[in-house]
């Protein structure tokens, strides 16, 4: 790709080139064009191969963490070769380069996890093998179903479904939002959030820009959805206060409550034997109570949990 943009192109969107990432970028392009009355070719999709899509036989936490989803896009964004990077917010590190900013959060899609291979947690057959590489999913599952065994399961949606079909596991988890964006919602059984807490930022697409060199910053910012941003910032504030990493089993649900925002969060030992849960309410954008919740959870937890937080 030339470093000189085509003058007919108004915005260059960088994206991973997995099917789900491309679906998210296409949705973003459609929203941009609809808001501004642009033709589809006014928004160029610029795919990159992310490191996280190349190594699929080990847990993400062992090979570099969430940065493996973002580092190639970060380079292109820093060099001004794209105007915005389209991310699944769940896959973006809590601490980001200072020159980057979340310019827009799209309206949040379904935040729930879905089971593939069973209709419910209780419906999983005794002694089943569960495929997942997410510490949160593994720990939360083992907390509820210690009879099950967890094996590492990585790759895009099609890869994980193929592994399930090949018998490498009996059941796996997929994000409901991802299945919906791929037109495959019928494959999964959504887990209601009163019994199963999702991941921070799940279901949120963010557009990250370098504000000092983005010529279409104002156009991109018009996609920002205030309620989604409030939830996202609060959930990321909890992760930051916990010092969570890719190794940290943490689940969080943030929604509009009776007096502003309501948050419910849980942290676990990796084997699921210990679960520490708490709740708080706070005004949007004011995260002191979120930080206090993080402190409370860690204070109540044993070393089996806390050793996986606060940068441990």
pLDDT tens profile 35-51: 999 999 999 999 987 55
Verify that 130 and 262 share a domain, yes or no.
no
Q: Which segments of 154-311 are extended strands (E)?
A: 171-175, 189-190, 205-209, 250-257, 260-268, 275-282
Verify that 20 and 100 share a domain, yes or no.
yes
Domain around 62? 11-106+204-224
Verify that 31 and 63 share a domain, yes or no.
yes
Question: Does 199 have pLDDT greater than 70?
Answer: yes
Per-residue pLDDT tens digits for 208-232: 999 999 999 999 999 999 999 999 9
pLDDT of residue 202: 97
| Cα pseudo-dihedral 270, 174, 160, 158, rounded to 10 | -160
Verify that 97 and 124 share a domain, yes or no.
no
Verify that 217 and 169 share a domain, yes or no.
no
Average pLDDT, the chain: 91
Kindly state whether residue 3 falls inside one of the protein's structural domains: no
Domains identified in the chain, total number: 3
Q: Among all residues, which ones are annotated catalytic?
A: 91
Q: What is the CATH number of the domain that holds 155?
A: 3.40.190.10
Kindly state whether residue 196 falls inside one of the protein's structural domains: no
Kindly state whether residue 5 falls inside one of the protein's structural domains: no
Radius of gyration over alpha carbons of the chain, in Å? Answer: 19
pTM recorded for the entire structure = 0.90
Verify that 289 and 263 share a domain, yes or no.
yes
């Amino acid at each position: 790709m030339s470093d000189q943009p085509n003058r007919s192109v108004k915005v260059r969107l960088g994206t991973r080139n997995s099917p789900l990432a491309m679906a998210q970028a296409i949705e973003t392009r459609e929203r941009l064009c609809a808001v501004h009355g642009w033709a589809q070719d006014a928004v160029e999709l610029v795919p990159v191969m992310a490191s996280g899509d190349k190594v699929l036989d080990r847990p993400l936490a062992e090979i570099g963490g969430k940065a493996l989803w973002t580092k190639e896009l970060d380079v292109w964004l820093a060099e001004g070769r794209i105007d915005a990077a389209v991310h699944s917010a769940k896959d973006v590190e809590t601490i980001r380069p200072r020159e980057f900013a979340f310019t827009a959060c799209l309206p949040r899609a379904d935040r729930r996890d879905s089971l593939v291979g069973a209709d419910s947690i209780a419906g999983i057959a005794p002694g089943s093998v569960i495929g997942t590489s997410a510490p949160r999913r593994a720990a939360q599952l083992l907390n509820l179903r210690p009879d099950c065994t967890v094996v590492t399961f990585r790759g895009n949606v099609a890869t994980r479904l193929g592994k399930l079909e090949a018998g490498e596991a009996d059941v796996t988890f997929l994000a409901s939002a991802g299945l919906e964006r791929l037109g495959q919602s019928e494959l999964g059984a959504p887990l209601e959030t009163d019994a199963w807490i999702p991941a921070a930022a799940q279901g949120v697409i963010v557009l990250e820009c370098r504000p000092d060199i983005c010529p279409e910053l104002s156009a991109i910012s018009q996609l920002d959805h205030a309620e989604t941003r409030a939830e996202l910032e609060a959930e990321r504030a909890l992760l930051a206060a916990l010092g969570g990493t890719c190794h940290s089993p943490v689940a969080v649900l943030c929604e509009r409550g009776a007096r502003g925002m309501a948050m419910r969060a849980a942290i676990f030992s990796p084997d699921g034997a210990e679960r520490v849960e708490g709740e708080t309410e706070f005004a949007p954008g004011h995260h002191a109570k979120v930080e206090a919740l993080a402190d409370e959870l860690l204070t109540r937890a044993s070393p089996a949990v806390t050793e996986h937080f606060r940068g441990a």
